[in-house]
Amino acid sequence: MRRGAGRLLLFVLVLAVLWGLWEGYRWLWMREAWTWPFIVNGTSMPHLHSIFGALWSSARPGGVGPRLVTLLFHSALFTAKEAAVGFALGAVLGFTLGAFLAHFRILSRGFLPWVVASQTVPILVVAPMVVVWLNPKLPTRFQDWGAVAVIAAYLTFFPVTINTIRGLHSADRRALELMRSYAAGNWRILWKLRFPAALPYIFAALKVSATASVVGAIIGELPSSIQDGLGGQIINYSQYYTTQPTGLWATNVVAAALGITFFLVILVTEKLVVRRAPENFA
């Protein structure tokens, strides 16, 4: 219990240090009027407390209407839906493809390099074409956000595929021999040995993919000019940046929170599901 309190204290301390660094940098650069790497003023680097203040106050100038944080929260929820669906889709696809490629070595030699190469495609750029092409093909209730979910899925499936393959192949040879000595069939071996052995690897990929899904969702929203999500808000507030810089920063804060939340969900799930010996930490 004491260790937990110590950790918390350290966490708060580092937070305070970072806050101090921001404000300190800002103060120093403004005082000395340095222009490298960029000019510092109230617009380019607002006070951190102004950003949080803006979150808490009304979204519309003039002080009427809902709080910015409420508005952004709903946008975040919208984006989260796209990201979560995309993530689930991509994860299932990735896992299936990975399991397939792990089993059929020759397929893996043929497809793996292209799975790797597929990741060099800048997703955003494919997004408008995917959305234009896919949108009319989707049932009405899936339109708009569905195409974005596909983008998120695309970003997810690669790490999951690669890590599933690695994980399934990571089973100790002697453990495999043991299973064979029990005359366990291939499915049994998959379920009882390979899959549990693969879990840590798969979770590592899921952690990366969770974040990627959020990024994919945000980026996917941009070309579709969907107003409801965080991507739309980013475009919105970047247009008003010179007059209301805190809006864009606030949106970034919310986007960050969304990404971290997704990541934490996976982290917690992993801790519950996977129990393994700690790695060397020396």
Partner 1 sequence: MSTTPAAVQPVPRGGMTRLVGRRLVDWLPAVVVLVGVIALWEGLIRALDVQAFLLPKPSEISRTLWDTRHELWAAGWFTFQEALGGFLLGSGLAILVALVLARWRILGAAFLPFAIAANAIPIIAFAPITNTWFSPLNKSSKIVIAAILCFFPVLVNTLRGLTSVNPRALELMHSYAAGETEIFRRVRIPTALPFIFTGLKVATVLAMIGAVVGEYFGGALNALGVLILTRARVFQFDEAWAGIVVACLMGLVLYLGVVALERATLRWVPSTSE
Q: Is 16 in the site for partner 1 (CB under 8 A)?
A: no
Residues 221-280 contacting partner 1, CB under 8 A: 222, 230, 234, 238, 241, 248-249, 251-252, 255-256, 258-260, 262-263, 279-280
- Residue 225 phi, psi (nearest 5): 45, 45
Q: Among 19, 44, 180, 273, which residue sits at the site for partner 1 (rule: CB under 8 A)?
A: 44
Q: Is 100 in the site for partner 1 (CB under 8 A)?
A: no
3-state secondary structure 127-189: HHHHHHHHHHHCCHHHCCHHHHHHHHHHHHHHHHHHHHHHHHCCCCHHHHHHHHHCCCCHHHH
Report the distance separating Cα 282 and Cα 279, nearest Å: 9
Residues 204-223 contacting partner 1, CB under 8 A: 207, 210-211, 214-215, 218-219, 222
Q: Where are the alpha helices (DSSP H) in the chain?
A: 2-32, 48-56, 68-103, 105-118, 123-134, 145-168, 173-181, 186-189, 195-224, 230-239, 245-273
CB atoms within 10 A of CB 200: 16
Q: Is 5 in the site for partner 1 (CB under 8 A)?
A: no
- Binding segment (CB under 8 A) for partner 1, from list 85-93, 124-132, 142-150, 184-192: 124-132
**Amino acid symbol at 85:** V
11 vs 34, beta carbon nearer partner 1: 11
18 vs 178, beta carbon nearer partner 1: 18
Query: Of 112, 91, 35, which is closest to residue 213 (Cα–Cα)?
Result: 91
Which residues lie near partner 1 (CB under 8 A)?
10-11, 13-14, 18, 37-39, 43-44, 106, 109-114, 117, 119-126, 128-129, 132-133, 162, 166, 207, 210-211, 214-215, 218-219, 222, 230, 234, 238, 241, 248-249, 251-252, 255-256, 258-260, 262-263, 279-282
